[in-house]
Structure 1
């Protein structure tokens, strides 16, 4: 009863106050995050480290959380091993993933580092049933270990399961989502690197466990933590490309403590798209100090023109919230967008472009607005335009309107200032663009003063 009261208090405090974002579910041990979007809502399937006192990987069940804003999270389901073919309490409830097809939800789970099963439900909140009564992936199936699975859907709508450690295997799923349509194929990765193989010399442990595949702009991205490779086909071969983290990714207070092999180790997670924005959800121990009691962080993801992913930013602000007192807010870090694209710019950063009439950007949960009387945009001007600052949405109350003249600057981006009315300390801001045609302006960032 005491633990239940503590859980409810922690949940109520962190999920009603909006006090913090990273970690997204603080002090609960939610880790190995896979986030999927179903019906306009984000669903997080996660492993669950039992306690801050853990001396090893002790995980008694699997969790499923949901959110419509990536800030406030609701616990939808707790899957106990007794509900599965395992049939008894079990403390190696390792990584998990979920999928949706034809009105059914499928919850895949790891039996430690041995095998994997699947549960089925009509709803994310359950009840969940084990349709097989046995593992979907059995321990003798391939030369690797059949755990830490991820689900991927290709351009034609087919679903696949990818799994393993060091060497990864992939197999197409049948339409029932609970059986394999083929024998698993080994995935070829050219010149891989990983947390144990940062110089390319460790051929016994070239990658990691916890593989994940997502697609972007016609390419497939196979990732293991923060490392990734790219292919034209879901089966590969994949060309190792890089890591989405390096020492410059971390803001003060988030750079350590690290794993035994450094900050690139243990970043198990997933990449996902929500409202025309890309994200990386991953494990972090910087706030717990215990590698066996991990948190989930989320960072924005931006793709360069050559298809590579730019380095992510690891901080406490996270995503879906903004602090007006932290200086500039990057335009490409929006929560929701319509009709625009992110564009790589000459300084190595990104801006929002392809802006046309009635396109918009939404920045919810902007804090620290009290006393702010101006908003400064860093813009590149192509045509005459108007930037409307509205509450909440494109149809929301008009708070200010900023005219942008059609004068191109020789230096590229320049500052345009608009006056603001009295603001509440925390508001949802929507930028609506008015003008003729496309590519009216580019916006690099904005700040409130």
Structure 2
């Protein structure tokens, strides 16, 4: 499909290095980040603003993963409104969270105006299925049941918080798909708006949330116990006119703490300065003081977070693994899973921190040529040293492995895959690539 937007014209006029440091997901609009660390991998679940959204237009939940915090692999939609047989709406897939317990993965999903549902899967990738066939929570007298967040305490008791304009909680049973006791309404912490994120760290309980309005920053409160009372301590990220809404997700990974949130930077870079609900997820490192309070984080930096390990190019690398994608999109192709498509002349993919320490003789890539074209391989910048040029010849829409020799390279570099071909034509789709020693 030809790009209906401004073909990233604003981005093409500014430094590629600046472009490359904007939101971590660039092939789709994403919001409401919910990170989960499981077996040395970060699984980032997000909501999904449709490309043509003016107001909230949200139909499914997406998954991305990373082991280095800068290159993210797209796994597509892992659940949608259609995952619930009792949901008849075609809009309203709002902020979710996934938690693991005893080898199963539980996704808590608000369906705006229809309560909060729960889905279960045997892997982080799904398929997620509805085990109860009805809402887990639905206070029909109001529309407050949004933005669930779940944490399993050290004693095994799980809690689910949620709510706008007031927070609520319930104690989940060990099956994670039912609860015992009443729904408890909590005294609203100062500046609380919505989007709670509940967790415990070093014996202290935290409730982060979208704070003040409008615009919204990210605030947080602390408590000595999982049920409160909650005392607001300040901002993790102060409100700024660069954003409107916000929604935090917080985790520790490989010795560092991170806060995820959202903004409108991708929309503003690539399309228009007019406001639409087309949001994007960003991440920043955050630090705790000795007393457990959190140091305020400035607005999402252009530098992004530091890469925590280098990427191995000598094994299969999914084409949808990237730090930045200029112009490209992703889709689910039957039989192949997620692929990169919508590739036009001048588009590119940036993969950060590729470790070429073992050298390499050839670059190979699985592609489906449409119009055909070539892939120019450069390191460190769009104008950096050329490693090679891989010709993707037109082949009547069949997937094929293409290969080219590359120059010797024995260190760590950012790798740019720059796409060349006829203007105003979709060139090819990409599945995966690797370097052969």
Per the normalisation by structure 2, the TM-score is 0.61
2: distance between equivalents of 1:228 and 1:43?
23
What's the secondary structure of 2:82's corresponding residue?
Answer: helix
Matches within 5 A, 1:45-444: 45-51=45-51, 53-78=52-77, 79-88=79-88, 90-140=90-140, 145-189=144-188, 192-193=190-191, 207-225=192-210, 226-246=218-238, 257-259=242-244, 266-289=245-268, 290-313=275-298, 314-321=300-307, 365=353, 424=411, 426=413
Measured in 1, the distance between the counterparts of 2:174 and 2:149 equals 17
Deviation at 1:220, TM superposition (A): 0.7
Q: Deviation string for 1:83-103 (max 9, x for gaps)?
A: 213454612111111011111
SS in 2 for 1:296: strand
Cα distance in 2 for partners of 1:425, 1:217 equals: 36
Provide the rounded CA distance (Å) in 1 between the counterparts of 2:235 and 2:22: 20
Query: How far apart are 1:146 and its partner, in Å?
Result: 1.4
Matched, 1:36 2:36: yes
CA distance in 1, matches of 2:61, 2:246: 18
What is the aligned-residue RMSD (CA, Å)? 3.0
Kept in 2, the 8 Å contact 1:23–1:316? The answer is no
Pair 222,174 (structure 1): closer, same or farther in 2 beyond 3 Å:
same
Give the CA deviation at 1:143. Answer: 6.3
So what's the TM-score if we normalise by structure 1? Answer: 0.60
CA contact (8 A) 1:18 1:72 kept: no
- Structure 1 gaps of 5+ residues are 4-16, 194-206, 248-254, 260-265, 323-363, 368-421, 428-449
- Cα distance 1:21–1:215, how it changes in 2: closer, same or farther (>3 A)? farther
Shift of 1:124: 1.9
Q: Distance in 2 between matches of 1:163 and 1:94?
A: 12
The SS at the match of 1:182 is: strand
Pair 1:75–1:113, CA change in 2 (3 A): farther
Compare relative contact order (CA 8 Å, sep 6+) and give the higher one, 1 or 2.
Answer: 2
Q: Which residue of 1 aligns with 2:418?
A: none
Corresponding residue for residue 337 of structure 2: none
1 CA distance for matches of 2:354 and 2:229? 43
Structure 2 stretches of 5 or more lacking a match? 4-16, 211-217, 269-274, 309-351, 356-408, 415-437
| Contact 1:21–1:319 (8 Å) recurs in 2 | no
How far, CA to CA, are the matches of 1:105 and 1:119 in structure 2? 8
